[in-house]
Structure 1
Amino acid sequence: RNLCPVIDPTGLVGCYRKRTQSAFAGRSGGEPGIFETALGKLGVLVCLDVEEDGLLQETAAQCRIIANPTHIPCAASGSWEIAVQSMQRRLEWWSCALGVSIVRCDLPPPG
């Protein structure tokens, strides 16, 4: 379903639903993922949402930190590292341009 719950010490703060469609996403969400936390406003963009410039700019305008949980299932092709390096350069550029920290939450495929 591509959902990201945001949890703090008091419990569930909210839940963000991925806004861009893909074959695996199911129905898309419509609201920006901005959540008030003890550290300030946290933005969430699930997976490929971060690659949509408009969504990234909209989210960055409302917070200082953006979490980007994702999964890149490229183990069979061996291109996981290449995909991550390419995205890293893009997110570094956007982070500087927009004045936000972007935390990409990804793990390499097993094996």
Structure 2
Amino acid sequence: MKKTLVVATLLAASSLSMAATTAAKKPVSQWKCEDFLALDESYQPKAIYFAEGFNKKNKPVDAVMDMDGIEKVVPVVVQECQKAPKASFWDKLKAGWDKAKAKI
């Protein structure tokens, strides 16, 4: 029984690791929500910080980062991505900003 649990745990960990590695190898503008959700929870805000600083053509858009705003948008994006893992992360990020601003 313990052996099966250990094997299942290792398989789950390796599949998450592979998903995170796959996401890291393509531009953020091409991520699906499942790529974002595969990241460790502690890295998800960093991915949003990074994505927010670039437009869809991977060009910098602003020299100023809205730290407070990003902290508010992270849970919105996570929640929306959990509802639609195959959806565009980029679209959910943009929609997340709209929802976060509406709450302010």
Please report the TM-score for the alignment, with normalisation by the length of structure 2. Answer: 0.32
Please report the TM-score for the alignment, with normalisation by the length of structure 1. Answer: 0.31
Q: Which structure is higher in helix share?
A: 2
Q: Which has the larger radius of gyration?
A: 2
Q: Which structure is higher in strand share?
A: 1
